[in-house]
Amino acid sequence: MAQFSVYRNTNPASRGAYPLLLDVQSDLTADLGTRVVVPLCPASTMQGRLIRTLTPVLQVEGQPYAMLTPQLAGVATGRLGNVVTNLAECRGEIVAALDLLITGI
C-alpha cells in the first residue's frame, strides 16, 4: 500500500459511479488496517460541477478522472482492488485539494 496509489473499486454498490479509489493516507500509518481514500469518477460525468482546487482532474491510464475530495472515506485494506497506477507526480494537486477540504486554504 502506497500513498497516492489508485485502486480499482471492488464495492459493487459504488464501482459503477466511482470505478477508482485514490489512496491519500500517509505510508507512516500503513499498519492500521484501513486506508483513507478519495473516489475518482470519469471527469465527463462532472461537467460544470468541478471546483478546480477541490476536485482536480487527474489522468489515469490516459483518461481524465475527477478527484471527489468531499467524499473522502476510510476503507479496509482487504477491500481495495488491484493497483492501477500511482499518482505521486500529482502530489501538489492532491494535497491542495485535501488542504482546501480540511483547512479551507
**Structure confidence by residue, pLDDT tens digits, 16-60:** 999 999 999 999 988 899 999 999 999 999 988 888 899 999 999
Average pLDDT, the chain: 95
Segments forming the whole domain that contains residue 87:
5-103
Instruction: Note the Cα 15 to chain centre separation in Å.
Output: 13
Q: Which residue has the higher pLDDT, 49 or 10?
A: 10
Residue 57 is part of a domain; what is its CATH number?
2.30.30.110
Mean pLDDT for 79-83 is 94
Domain count, the chain: 1
